[in-house]
């Protein structure tokens, strides 16, 4: 039964992804050269922006700043997988073994991303992100 439902939904995937791609592209372009780094999309590739994850070395401050302005965010993988209890019990390396993953776990933040966002909401999000970066300048 599930396979039949998914087969029907698959027909609409391109249509459903189109707004995500438009929103994600607008956000990525709008962030430009700011301290908040958008997802890296290699040339001749595309991204469907299932989530829109940015990097910011002041992630927790940014998250609070956004929340105060009515913008919710998420943190996917707040703990690198190799440091979770499940992986530690399997004998995986400890803290310091994967420094890039450990650094990213403190920097990444998922911004709102779903097809039903309005252009005005994207513009508001960008304006708040710009405001944050301006306040962080020395």
Per-residue burial over 55-69, b = 16 or more CB atoms within 10 Å of its CB, e = otherwise: bbeebeebbebbeee
What distance in Å separates the CA atoms of residue 74 and residue 66, rounded to the nearest whole number?
11
Residue-range domain boundaries for the chain: 2-136
Residue given tokens 């994850």 in the structure block: 53
The whole-model pTM stands at 0.87
Give me the CATH topology for the region 2-136.
3.90.1150
Question: Residue 2's pLDDT is what?
Answer: 67
Per-residue confidence of the chain (138 residues) as pLDDT tens digits? 667 888 888 999 999 999 999 999 999 999 976 789 998 888 888 888 999 999 999 999 999 999 999 999 999 889 998 899 888 888 778 888 899 999 999 999 999 999 999 999 999 999 999 999 999 887
Task: Output phi, psi for 109, to 5 deg.
Answer: -145, 130
Question: Residue 70's pLDDT is what?
Answer: 98
What distance in Å separates the CA atoms of residue 3 and residue 136, rounded to the nearest whole number?
49
The pairs formed by 56-64 with CB atoms below 8 angstroms and a separation of 24 or more are 56/107, 56/109, 57/107, 58/136, 59/106, 59/107, 59/108, 59/109, 61/132, 61/136, 62/36, 62/109, 62/129, 62/132, 63/109
> Taking every pair of C-alpha atoms in the chain, what is the biggest distance, in angstroms?
58
What contacts 60, CB < 8 A, 6 or more positions away? none
Question: Residue 128's pLDDT is what?
Answer: 96
DSSP at 83? G
């Amino acid at each position: 039964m599930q396979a039949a439902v998914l087969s029907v939904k698959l027909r609409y995937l391109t249509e459903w992804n189109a707004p995500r791609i438009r929103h994600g592209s607008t956000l990525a372009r709008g962030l430009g050269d700011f301290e908040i780094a958008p997802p890296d999309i290699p040339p001749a590739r595309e991204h469907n922006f299932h989530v829109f994850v940015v990097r910011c070395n002041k992630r927790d401050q940014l998250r609070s700043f956004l929340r105060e302005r009515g913008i919710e965010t998420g943190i996917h993988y707040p703990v690198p997988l190799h440091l979770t209890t499940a992986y530690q019990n399997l004998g995986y390396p400890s803290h310091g073994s994967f420094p890039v993953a450990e650094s990213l776990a403190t920097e990444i933040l998922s911004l709102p991303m779903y097809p039903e966002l309005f252009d005005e909401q994207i513009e508001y999000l960008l304006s708040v992100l710009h405001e944050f970066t301006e306040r962080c300048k020395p």
